[in-house]
Amino acid sequence: MAKKGSNKKQKTMSATKARAIERKTTVWTLKDVPGAHNKNNSVPLAFALRNLLKIAETVKEAKKILSQRKIKVNGIIRTEKRFALGLFDLVEIETEKEKKYYRVMLDSKRRIKLIETTGKEQAKICRIEKKKTIKGKKTQYTFNDGSTHTDEKLKLKVGDSVKIELPSKKILEKIELKEGNTAFILSGKHTAKIVKIKSILPGTQQRDKIAEFDFKDKTFRTKTENIFIIGKEKADKTLELNENE
C-alpha cells in the first residue's frame, strides 16, 4: 500500500498555545508547515490574516489575497497560506491606497499577536540559536528564524542577538547577552515583559546559565534560553516599543 504522505489537517483542540483561537467553536484549523520557526512559537500566514488581522473571513479569502503577491514577510513576497510567522517578523501588506506594516510579537499568555508599526526601518532582531565550525574553519551561526550566516568577524555566542537588514539579511549590529543589555522575556509569568539584565550567572555541565533581572523592585531569575536580547540601553527602535509595554 502506498504512503499517503503527511496529514495536512489539524484539529483546533490540538493547536499550539501560540494561537489566539476559540478552541471549542470550530473543529479544524490550519496546520503548521515545517519552516522558519518552531510550530510552538509561530502561526500560519493565512491564520494571521483571518484570525489576527481580520482582513479575510475565510481561508479561501486569505488564499486569494496571498495570490495577489502583495504580502511580504521580512521583505520577501509570500504566497504559501501555511508559511510560519514567528517572533519579530515584519509583515508588509500592500493595498490600493497604502502599505501597512505589522511586527509579530507575543502577549503575556505567550500567544502570537501582530502590532501595527510605521515600517520606517526594514530590519529585525534575531537570536543566535546554534554556532558551529564548517568547512574552511569558518563559523556558521543559525538564527531563531532558521536562517544562517557565516561570518568570521562576528565572534558571538549562542544567546546573543543581531540586528539584520531586510530583505538582504545584512548584519547591522550585534547585541550581546550580557549585564546591562535589554531583554524580552519569552516564557513564565513575566512573558512579554521588557527588562534590563542585572547579571548573568555562569552555567555548568548540569545547569544552564541564569539571567537575573529586576521587575517592580523585586529580583527574578530565569534560564537564558527564556530571554531574547533586543537592545543595549533600551529596546531597539526597530521594535517601536517602550520598556513600559
Q: What is the pLDDT of residues 174-220, one digit of tens each?
A: 999 999 999 999 988 889 999 999 999 887 777 788 999 988 888 99
Looking only at the bridges linking them, the beta strands covering 218-223 and 210-215 are antiparallel
The whole-number pLDDT of residue 227 equals: 93
The whole-number pLDDT of residue 240 equals: 74
9-117 and 182-235 agree in CATH topology: no
Q: Which of 129, 87, 93 is nearest to 105 (CA)?
A: 87
pTM as predicted: 0.86
Fold of 182-235: SH3 type barrels. (2.30.30)
What DSSP string describes 99-160?
Answer: EEEEEEEE-TTS-EEEEEE---S-EEEEEEEEEEEETTTEEEEEETTS-EEE-TT----TT-
* Separation between Cα atoms, residue 66 and residue 58, nearest integer Å: 13
> Is 2.40.50.740 the CATH number for 123-175?
yes
Residues of the chain with pLDDT under 50: 243-245
Domain ranges of the chain: 9-117, 123-175, 182-235
Fold of 9-117: 3.10.290
Q: Which of 46, 22, 20, 23 is nearest to 33 (CA)?
A: 46
